[in-house]
Structures are given as structure tokens and as C-alpha cells.
């Protein structure tokens, strides 16, 4: 797909064909109404399919498809290979092996500038197998995009509907970001017609400062909103101006770089 946040072509790797996730976000775009037909990752098949997709992208064949024909030349190189799919990638029992496979295919195809991106809710970042996978990512132009959608426990429970408390997420982000800089990805939305209240946004900024003050490094913050049909009908996107204001609040309150991504346009 052509990803706004990746700045070009991003090849997604779904490590959760079973749709396993420890969050049940109100804005999730995954349809969990049907039972999955596949429940485990087949490493051989993953390697074959990813090799084919890389070949299609590098040869230019992808851009003969009408859906991609109008993609500008500067957005056609493979910007990243992203672990992002129907659930939490680090819940996969073979996470480290999957990272090793992607790193090898990246090297074999001369994709030195292409990133390996982990899009994660951060709950499992301290598990030994995941830590080993992150170390492989570090050696292969890897980047963690860690989810942080709330500053208070109440709002976090309301939006993410998790099975871990917010402090666990914060602690895991800190542990990972003490080793390498991470990107924070934060989605804000209207709930029942109302945008996040001011005190919730202030608490969110406080959490960002808590992470930095603990010795962790944040590369930048992605502030975005709903762009596709969410799980719950009462979830709606913010306006572009509202997204911009949250991004500016982050810049002013933390001195971190913040980028805004809108629901449309």
C-alpha cells in the first residue's frame, strides 16, 4: 500500500492470521465477525509471498495495476516492510524468526534503505523473544512505532479496551526506547460526537514527558485520526484543524517533533 505515514510504498506483513490481539480498539478496522481460516504463520509461505511482492515492486510491475498506476515516481521505492496486520505482531510465537526472514530478504534484494517497521501496542516489548527480534531490527534499519492513544487509565480503557493497564504500556515503551529511539503513534477521534477533552490531552502530553524523563528516546510523534470504517459506529474522525491543534500541543508541551495525518485528503 501507499502509506501516508511511511511516505511511500509500504509492504505489510500480517503475523496475525488468527486475528489475535490484546487490544480491542474502538477504532480498529479489522473485521472480527468471521472466524479466521488460518491460525498460524507459515514461515516458508511468508518468505515466498514476500519475495514475490518485493519482486513485483522492484520490477515496476505493481505500477501497471490501475490501483497503483498514478503513484508518483518518488513514492514507488519500497519505503518499509511493516509488521502490521490483523492483530498484535509481537503476539506471534515466531516473531524473532519472522524478523530474521524479513531482514534476510531485505539484504538479498539490496533494500538497504528500506526500513523494517514494527507497529505495536507495546504490551509485549520486554518478552525475551521479542527483545531478540528487536535487536535484529536494530541491525537492519528497524523502527518501532509504539501505540499511545491516552494519558489517563479511564480513557485508555475506553478507547483501547486492553488486557493490560496503561502503566504496563508506558513501562514497555520506556524499556524499548532506552535502547533505541521509537516513534509514538497516537490516534485521536470523536466519541459520540465529542473530541478528546482538554484534560485528557494534557494527561497524554504528561505521559510523553514521563517517557522522555525516564531516559527513553522518542524520535517523533505521529498524531492521526480515523481514516477508514472503525469497529464502532460512534467513532468518527477529527477535523484537520483538530488534528493540527493536538500536534501543536505535543510540540509546545514536550519539544518533540510531531507530524499530523488527517482522516482524508
Report CA torsion sign: 249, 163, 177, 105: negative
CA distances from 154 to 32, 203, 208 (A): 24, 11, 17
Rounded CA gap, 206 and 193, in Å? Answer: 25
Mean pLDDT of the 171-198 span: 98
Rounded CA gap, 242 and 72, in Å? Answer: 29
- Does residue 33 or residue 184 have the better pLDDT? 184
Res. 195: pLDDT tops 60 = yes
172 and 121 in a common domain: no
Task: List, for residues 226-239, the tens digit of each pLDDT value.
Answer: 988 898 999 999 99
154 and 75 in a common domain: no
CATH code of the domain containing 227: 3.20.20.70
197 and 73 in a common domain: no
160 and 129 in a common domain: no
> In the structure, what pLDDT confidence band is assigned to residue 37 with cuts at 50, 70 and 90?
low
- Say which residues have a Cβ less than 8 Å from residue 44's Cβ, sequence separation at least 6: none
Res. 38: pLDDT tops 90 = no
Average pLDDT, the chain: 93
Mean pLDDT of the 53-82 span: 89
Task: List, for residues 113-169, the tens digit of each pLDDT value.
Answer: 999 999 999 999 999 999 999 999 999 999 999 999 999 999 999 999 999 999 999
The domain boundary residue, chosen from 107, 123, 143: 143
- Say which residues have a Cβ less than 8 Å from residue 135's Cβ, sequence separation at least 6: none
Relative to beta strand 258-261, strand 218-224 is parallel
Mean pLDDT of the 233-250 span: 97
Contact between 136 and 99 (Cβ < 8 Å): yes
The pLDDT, as a whole number, for residue 265 is: 44
Res. 39: pLDDT tops 80 = no
**Host domain of residue 53:** 1-143
137 and 67 in a common domain: yes
168 and 133 in a common domain: no
- At residue 210, the 3 state secondary structure works out as helix
Count the domains in the chain. 2
Mean pLDDT of the 91-101 span: 95
**Percent of the chain, pLDDT > 70?**
95
The pLDDT, as a whole number, for residue 132 is: 98
136 and 6 in a common domain: yes
189 and 132 in a common domain: no
Mean pLDDT of the 15-22 span: 85
Q: Which three cell numbers stand for residue 216?
A: 527513553
User: Residue 153: which of 203, 96, 93, 117 has the closest Cα?
Assistant: 203
Rounded CA gap, 159 and 139, in Å? Answer: 34
- At residue 245, the 3 state secondary structure works out as helix
Rounded CA gap, 190 and 200, in Å? Answer: 13
The pLDDT, as a whole number, for residue 179 is: 98
28 and 102 in a common domain: yes
Rounded CA gap, 173 and 194, in Å? Answer: 29
Rounded CA gap, 256 and 265, in Å? Answer: 25
Q: On the CB side of 193, how many CA atoms lie within 13 Å of its CA?
A: 0
Q: Is the pTM of this model over 0.95?
A: no
Amino acid at each position: 500500500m501507499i502509506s501516508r505515514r511511511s511516505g511511500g510504498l509500504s509492504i505489510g506483513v500480517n503475523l496475525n492470521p488468527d486475528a489475535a490481539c490484546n487490544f480491542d480498539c474502538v477504532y480498529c478496522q479489522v473485521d472480527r465477525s468471521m472466524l479466521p481460516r488460518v491460525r498460524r504463520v507459515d514461515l516458508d509461505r511468508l518468505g515466498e509471498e514476500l519475495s514475490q511482492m518485493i519482486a513485483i515492486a522492484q520490477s515496476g510491475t505493481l505500477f501497471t495495476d490501475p490501483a497503483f498506476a498514478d503513484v508518483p515516481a518518488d513514492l514507488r521505492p519500497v519505503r518499509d516492510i511493516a509488521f502490521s496486520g490483523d492483530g498484535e505482531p509481537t503476539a506471534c510465537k515466531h516473531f524473532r524468526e519472522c524478523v530474521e526472514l524479513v531482514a534476510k530478504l531485505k539484504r538479498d534484494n539490496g533494500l538497504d534503505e528500506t526500513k523494517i517497521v514494527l507497529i505495536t501496542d507495546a504490551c509485549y516489548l520486554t518478552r525475551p523473544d521479542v527483545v531478540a527480534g528487536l535487536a535484529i531490527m536494530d541491525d537492519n534499519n528497524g523502527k518501532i512505532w509504539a501505540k499511545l492513544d491516552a494519558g489517563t487509565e479511564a480513557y485508555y480503557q475506553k478507547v483501547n479496551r486492553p488486557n493490560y493497564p496503561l502503566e504496563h504500556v508506558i513501562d514497555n515503551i520506556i524499556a524499548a526506547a532506552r535502547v533505541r529511539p521509537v516513534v509514538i503513534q497516537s490516534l485521536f477521534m470523536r466519541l459520540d460526537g465529542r473530541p478528546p477533552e482538554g484534560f485528557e490531552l494534557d494527561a497524554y502530553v504528561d505521559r510523553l514527558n514521563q517517557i522522555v524523563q525516564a531516559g527513553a528516546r522518542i524520535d517523533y510523534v505521529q498524531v492521526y485520526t480515523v481514516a477508514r470504517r472503525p469497529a464502532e459506529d460512534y467513532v468518527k474522525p477529527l477535523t484537520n484543524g483538530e488534528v493540527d491543534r493536538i500536534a501543536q500541543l505535543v510540540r509546545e508541551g514536550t519539544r518533540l517533533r510531531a507530524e499530523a495525518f488527517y482522516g482524508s485528503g
